[in-house]
């Protein structure tokens, strides 16, 4: 007899109290759906919709996107795949989007934190996603040319107006988080973090201490650690798992506020990534991975 975790393996990761509903601690990122350089339409929009729906079937209820992915492409695909109508548009799913990076071409990203721009992009995301309120709205980057308090204040105003529920930050240090928290409640932080890149360890500790969700982007990188004889490869063999599953399982063990958002355009990889939630690493394996980088 199948258990709920067999059918919806994302539930094995446990819950994190994000917003009113909370979320399972393994999510899905949509950055890989647009064309090369995260620019232009998806090369396989039908496949992208199928992957998004499969992730939801597996119990993923946190989907991360941004207005700049495409731009607009990833948000449009999310709506096509998961939107269920005005009454209950995403049926218990939390949609997290971001604004604050302008695009001028493939691989080109330019911070823009002007309050009027952030408000404009919020309104456009509301329209594209088909919602009256965005579950989690994240400042994609702090614009160094605009006073930070003005950017945080714009998010606070949008929240006060009911256009967004929760506020998040991306690629920030502890000082920036603390400054933002004097202006608006911060629910999540999204920094690059994985087995190889742990420069945000201090930020992760801060988030853990303060109950702030930490969404690591590029979460499954393991590089030479996954090569034959490497610690990831050895542990993957030990548990009959893949290197990606080991990397994600390590993240989930790293902190109770960790919310990995691996993305893929492959149905098989989507299920593989979500089933990492079921992988229970033993203490010896965790210690080996902790010491690997």
Q: What is the pLDDT of residues 156-168, one digit of tens each?
A: 999 999 999 999 9
Reported as a pLDDT band with limits 50, 70 and 90, residue 49 is very high
Q: How much is the pLDDT for 1?
A: 40
Which region among 5-14, 16-25, 123-132, 236-245 has the lowest average model confidence (pLDDT)?
Answer: 5-14
The DSSP bridge partners found for residue 139 are: 99, 169
Number of residues in the chain:
293
Q: How much is the pLDDT for 290?
A: 96
Share of the chain above pLDDT 70, in %: 98
Reported as a pLDDT band with limits 50, 70 and 90, residue 6 is confident
CA 105 – CA 257 distance, rounded (Å): 34
Quote the tokens at residue 53. Answer: 């729906």
62-87 confidence digits (pLDDT tens): 999 999 999 999 999 999 999 998 77
Q: How much is the pLDDT for 5?
A: 65
What CATH number corresponds to the domain at position 90? 3.20.20.100
Residue 212, classed as helix, strand or coil, is coil
Higher pLDDT, 20 or 205: 205
Q: How much is the pLDDT for 67?
A: 98
CA 110 – CA 102 distance, rounded (Å): 5
Taking alpha carbons only, the member of 25, 12, 11 closest to residue 256 is: 25
What residues contact 91, with CB distance under 8 A and at least 6 apart? 82, 84
| Reduced DSSP (H G I as helix, E B as strand, rest coil) percent helix, strand, coil of the chain, to 5 | 45, 15, 40
The tally of domains found in the chain comes to 1
The beta strand positions in the chain, using DSSP E, are 15-16, 23-24, 28-29, 62-64, 94-99, 101-105, 108-111, 134-139, 164-170, 188-190, 213-214
Quote the tokens at residue 195. Answer: 């087995």
117 is catalytic: no
CA 208 – CA 254 distance, rounded (Å): 10
Ramachandran assignment for 209, one of left (phi > 0), alpha (psi -120 to 50 degrees), beta (any other): alpha
Structural domain harbouring 51 = 4-290
CA 139 – CA 267 distance, rounded (Å): 30
Reported as a pLDDT band with limits 50, 70 and 90, residue 3 is low
Give me the catalytic one of 69, 117, 193, 206: 69
Q: How much is the pLDDT for 2?
A: 54
For residues 179-191, one letter each, b for 16 or more C-beta atoms within 10 angstroms of the residue's C-beta and e for the rest, the string is ebeebbebbbbbb
Compute the mean pLDDT over every residue in the chain, rounded to the nearest whole number.
96
Q: How much is the pLDDT for 85?
A: 81
Model confidence at 88: pLDDT above 90: no
Quote the tokens at residue 277. Answer: 């939630």
Average pLDDT over residues 212-217: 98
191-211 confidence digits (pLDDT tens): 999 999 999 999 999 999 999
Q: In whole angstroms, what separates CA 101 from the centre of its chain? A: 16
């Amino acid at each position: 007899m199948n258990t709920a975790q067999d059918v919806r393996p994302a539930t094995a990761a446990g819950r994190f109290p994000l917003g009113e509903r909370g979320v399972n601690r393994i999510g899905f990122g949509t950055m890989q759906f647009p064309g090369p350089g995260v620019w232009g339409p998806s090369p396989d929009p039908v496949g992208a919709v199928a992957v998004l729906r499969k992730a939801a079937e597996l119990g993923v209820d946190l989907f991360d996107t941004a207005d700049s992915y495409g731009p607009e492409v990833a948000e449009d695909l999310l709506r096509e795949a998961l939107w269920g109508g005005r009454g209950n548009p995403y049926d218990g799913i939390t949609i997290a989007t971001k604004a604050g990076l302008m695009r001028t071409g493939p691989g080109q990203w330019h911070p823009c934190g002007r309050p009027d721009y952030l408000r404009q992009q919020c309104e456009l995301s509301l329209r594209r996603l088909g919602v009256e309120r965005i579950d989690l709205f994240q400042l994609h980057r702090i614009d160094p040319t605009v006073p930070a308090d003005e950017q945080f204040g714009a998010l606070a105003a949008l929240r006060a107006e009911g256009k967004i529920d929760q506020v998040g930050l991306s690629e920030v240090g502890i000082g920036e988080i603390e400054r933002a928290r004097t202006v608006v409640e911060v629910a999540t932080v999204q920094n690059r973090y994985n087995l190889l890149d742990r420069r945000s360890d201090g930020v992760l500790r801060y988030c853990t201490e303060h109950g702030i969700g930490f969404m690591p982007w590029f979460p499954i990188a393991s590089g030479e650690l996954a090569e034959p004889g490497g610690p990831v490869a050895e542990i993957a063999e030990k548990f009959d798992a893949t290197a990606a599953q080991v990397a994600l399982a390590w993240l989930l063990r790293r902190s109770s506020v960790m919310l990995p958002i691996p993305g893929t355009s492959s149905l098989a990889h989507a299920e593989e990534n979500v089933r990492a939630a079921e992988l229970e690493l033993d203490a010896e394996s965790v210690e080996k991975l902790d010491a690997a980088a």
